């Protein structure tokens, strides 16, 4: 896609880290989506600890613990969306993915044909702290869709 071409997005992706002001972020993303008449997806990624490390942890079933983390993330993302906009964001549009942030963003952007990403500003560390490493920086630099970074303390 031509980077300079202005195109109204049909789908918006809101990435949340599930931190305490996330309902403000989701509310903001919801309003933007309404203005654009676009479909809104809300995403959180859960670290794929076992997949990334692959170590055996004595006495612990890491698969079960990770399932608990994923379920907790699903519950939390529901609570955040509900607090933000009631039942306006259904289960299909609340996405929890196991894996790294970049991989999760890439997957949802590709599968849902996302045209705009909305993310929280990561406090003092700035947005680039979300995108550590060469691969992540390249992902941001080569992105063909806009990223909107919302300052969370502006609330």
Partner 1 sequence: MDNTKRILIVDDSDELTQVIAEFLGMCGYSVFTARDGIDALRFMEKETMDVVVSDIHMPRMDGYTLMTEIKSRHPRTPIILITGFSVSEAQKMAFEKGADAFVAKPFHLKDLKGVIESVMPH
83 part of the interface to partner 1, by CB under 8 A: no
Restricting to residues 37-66, name those near partner 1 by CB under 8 A: 46-47, 49-50, 53, 55, 57-62, 64-66
Dist CA 23 CA 2 (whole Å): 33
When the beta carbons of 2 and 55 are compared against partner 1, the nearer one is 55
E strands along the chain, which residues? Answer: 11-15, 39-46, 94-98, 116-120, 147-150
State which of residues 24, 27, 39, 69 lies at the interface with partner 1 (CB under 8 A). 69
Q: Which stretch binds partner 1 (CB under 8 A): 33-41, 67-75, 98-106, 119-127?
A: 67-75
> How many residues form the binding site for partner 1 (CB under 8 A)?
22
Please report which helix (H) or strand (E) contains residue 105, including its range.
helix 101-111
Contact 23, 42 (CB under 8 A): no
Rounded to an integer, what distance in angstroms lies between the CA atom of residue 7 and that of residue 3?
10
Residues of the shown chain interacting with partner 1 in the complex, contacts defined by CB under 8 A? 18, 20, 46-47, 49-50, 53, 55, 57-62, 64-66, 68-69, 72-73, 76
């Amino acid at each position: 896609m031509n980077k300079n071409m202005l195109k109204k997005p049909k789908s918006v992706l809101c990435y949340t880290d599930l931190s305490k002001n996330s309902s403000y972020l989701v509310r903001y993303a919801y309003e933007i989506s309404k203005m654009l008449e676009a479909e809104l997806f809300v995403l959180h990624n859960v670290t794929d600890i076992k997949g990334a490390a692959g170590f055996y942890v004595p006495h612990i079933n890491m698969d079960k613990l990770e399932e608990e983390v994923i379920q907790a993330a699903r519950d939390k993302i529901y609570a955040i969306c509900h607090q933000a906009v009631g039942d306006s964001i259904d289960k299909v549009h609340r996405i929890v993915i196991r894996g790294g942030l970049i991989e999760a963003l890439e997957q949802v952007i590709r599968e849902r044909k996302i045209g705009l990403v909305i993310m929280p500003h990561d406090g003092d560390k700035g947005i680039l702290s979300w995108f550590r490493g060469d691969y992540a920086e390249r992902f941001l630099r080569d992105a063909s869709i806009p990223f909107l970074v919302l300052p969370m303390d502006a609330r």
